[in-house]
Amino acid sequence: MSRSLLVGGTRPTNRASIGSARLRTGTRVIQKEAYMSYSLLVGGTRPTNRASICSARVKGGIRVIQKESYMSYSLIVGGTGPTNRPSIGSARVKGGIRVIQKEAYMSRSLTAGYTGPTNRPSICSAHVKGGIRVIQKEADMSHSLLVGGTRPTNRPSIGSARVKGGIRVIQKEAYMSRSLTAGGTGPTNRASICSAHVKGGIRVIQKEAYMSRSLTAGDRRPTKRAKICRTSP
């Protein structure tokens, strides 16, 4: 019931504490999930304050900046510096990947992968250097999240995308439960584990439990709800 989020740590962490992991490829992840505030801080090299910006320089030149404001749940990811809440943040990643994501202040609408601002219930798409194409839809009231489809998808359906390089992303957001299952090679049940084999040896497994909304990501095998998992090449 606590919605605790524990990702990437080398050991279990307390609910409001900071967990960190040094991965085999030099990635360092620090993530905090406050009990009541739902604040999310990812990618820092040290513990960060709740509404601050944290960054991580990952081996390979990837730089991630993420902000989670205290009350608004706004999520701004991929910027090269601090961004205002309703603004667009972008990051040019070594390898030509460009990510743009916008989180509206009150509506919690999430639109990602577009090259410019889009309306809330619309479909946005981006052709990324390297052939990656991302389509994401965020319904107005339901908070449904559909990512990776090659065409507009209905709210509870599965959208998929075959990306140049062999990356296949499938994500489902159930209408009422907000369960999130990502990275599978086919449709997955709400509380099940799905996985994706990414060119370069990255394997992502993510589980979203039905009632607890606990999130465990990055393991090579199914993990229990509140456990810590890690990634390795």
pLDDT tier at 216, thresholds 50, 70, 90: very low
So what's the pLDDT on residue 44? 29
Strand partners of residue 137: 123, 146
Residue 174 lies in a domain: yes
3-state helix, strand, coil in the chain (%, to 5): 0, 40, 60
Distance CA 194, CA 166 (A): 16
The tokens of 75 are what? 């999520």
The tokens of 36 are what? 């009541």
Q: Is 136 exposed, middle or buried (0-12, 13-18, 19+ CB in 10 A)?
A: buried
Residue 7 lies in a domain: no
| pLDDT, tens digit, 9 for 90 and up, residues 94-148 | 333 333 333 222 222 233 333 233 332 222 233 232 332 333 332 222 222 233 3
So what's the pLDDT on residue 156? 28
So what's the pLDDT on residue 189? 31
96: left (phi over 0), alpha (psi -120 to 50) or beta: left
pLDDT tier at 11, thresholds 50, 70, 90: very low
DSSP, res 23 = -
Residue 82 lies in a domain: yes
* Domain carrying residue 48: 18-217
Residue 227 lies in a domain: no
| pLDDT, tens digit, 9 for 90 and up, residues 47-95 | 333 222 233 333 333 333 333 222 222 223 332 233 333 222 333 333 3
Residue 222 lies in a domain: no
Domains contained in the chain, number: 1
Q: Between these two residues, 175 and 154, which has the higher pLDDT value?
A: 154
So what's the pLDDT on residue 197? 30
Q: What would the mean pLDDT of 176-198 be, rounded to a whole number?
A: 29
Using a cut of 0.85, tell me whether the model's pTM lies above it. Answer: no
Lay out the sheet containing 75-77: strands in order across: 54-58, 62-68, 75-77
Lay out the sheet containing 145-147: strands in order across: 123-128, 132-138, 145-147
So what's the pLDDT on residue 12? 33
Residue 12 lies in a domain: no
Tell me if 133 sits within 8 A of 126, measured CB to CB.
yes
The beta-strand segments (E) located in 78-199 are 89-93, 97-103, 110-112, 123-128, 132-138, 145-147, 159-163, 167-173, 180-182, 194-198
- The average confidence (pLDDT) of the chain is 30
Residue 9 lies in a domain: no
Residue 43 lies in a domain: yes
Tell me if 228 sits within 8 A of 19, measured CB to CB.
yes
Q: What would the mean pLDDT of 6-13 be, rounded to a whole number?
A: 32
So what's the pLDDT on residue 151? 30
Query: What percentage of the chain has pLDDT greater than the value 90?
Result: 0
State which amino acid sits at residue 140: D
